[in-house]
Amino acid sequence: MAEPARAFVTGFPIRHSRSPLIHGFWLKAYGLEGSYEAIETAPEAFPAFLFSLRDKFYAGGNVTIPHKETAFALCERHDSAAEAIGAVNTLWFEHDRLHGGNTDAYGFAANLDEYAKDWDDTDTALVLGAGGASRAIVHALKSRGIGHIHIANRTLARARDVADHFGSGVSAHDWSEAQNFVAASGVIINTTPLGMEGHGGRELALDLSKADPETIVTDIVYVPLETPFLRLAGDAGLKTVDGLGMLLHQAVPGFEHWFGVRPNVTQELRAHILADM
Ligand code: ATR
């Protein structure tokens, strides 16, 4: 009989990862015998860790900060999202080759599909921040056909890097210009850690009073669930979607790869994760 499948999440540090809670919940809910463990790997040890997976009989796993770009460089095959984003967060073996995918863009879009149907029915988006998460989100926005994507970032050069990477339809702006794109944007996304618990109490200041009433505002920060930015948006009468669903949905494709069941993102799962926050 085949051994139960084993999967992991690795990062540095890793203790804050909620992925073990998510996959542990699904393993139990679907009555599966597999396992999912958190493994801390320092950057210098990461390549050796990756090359040892086959010998350790892992079915695959997740990689998180700071290993996503290194994982991209070291995988034998990539899915189209990883290719477009240049980073890998999900690993699996296929025909004995190590495949790397990126499910962050999928998770982002699936969360909005669930809570803000027709969110992509706009041609303009404003993305705040230009880090790794921003790249995944710009890819999702482009994939959904949003033709004008404005990235505003504290460090303009990083916004330019992202805009150059994605090409036509994506433009880079200084943080101070973000305000200019509020009125035209059907969707506004915070991809920075501003408003995150433990991040020094700095909040995102944007005047949303000129936004179209149909505008959807979302945040990748999910601790707290209602960030100061989402509260601002709610007070302005805009539709808000919290970031927890992105975390939950991005886990779906990996679980299916390793354990052979496509799991559902349910209210029970949400409650399970929220109980730990
Ligand atoms: P991730 O991979 O999670 O996106 P990251 O690559 O460190 O993380 O990117 C964090 C983003 O948040 C960046 O856009 C960063 O701005 P800079 O490029 O100028 O560093 C932004 N950010 C972090 N702290 C910020 C702050 N206090 N004010 C404004 N932007 C901030």
User: How does DSSP assign 114-177, residue by residue?
Assistant: HHSTTTT--SEEEEE--SHHHHHHHHHHHHTT--EEEEEESSHHHHHHHHHHH-TTEEEEEGGG
Whether omega before 263 lies within 30 degrees of 0, making that bond cis, reads no
Q: What share of the chain is helix, strand, coil (3-state, %, to 5)?
A: 40, 20, 40
Report the pLDDT value the prediction gives residue 1, as an integer from 0 to 100: 61
Catalytic positions, written as ranges = 68
Domain 105-243 has CATH 3.30.720.120: no
Task: State which of 16, 153, 190 you would mutate to test the pocket of ligand 1, scoring each by most atoms of that ligand within 8 A of its C-beta.
Answer: 153
Read off the DSSP letter of residue 3. Answer: P
155 labelled binding-site residue: yes
CATH for the 6-103+251-274 domain, from 1.10.1370.30, 3.40.50.10860, 3.30.390.30, 3.30.413.10: 3.40.50.10860
If you average pLDDT over every residue of the chain, what do you get? Answer: 96
The per-residue pLDDT for range 34-43, each reduced to its tens digit, is: 999 999 999 9
157 labelled binding-site residue: yes
The per-residue pLDDT for range 1-33, each reduced to its tens digit, is: 678 999 999 999 999 999 999 999 999 999 999
The per-residue pLDDT for range 194-231, each reduced to its tens digit, is: 999 888 777 888 999 999 999 999 999 999 999 999 99
30 labelled binding-site residue: no
Residue 155 CB–ligand 1 contact under 6 Å: yes
Q: ipTM higher than 0.95?
A: yes
Paired residues of 37 in beta bridges = 8
Task: State which of 192, 194, 206 you would mutate to test the pocket of ligand 1, scoring each by most atoms of that ligand within 8 A of its C-beta.
Answer: 192
pTM: 0.96
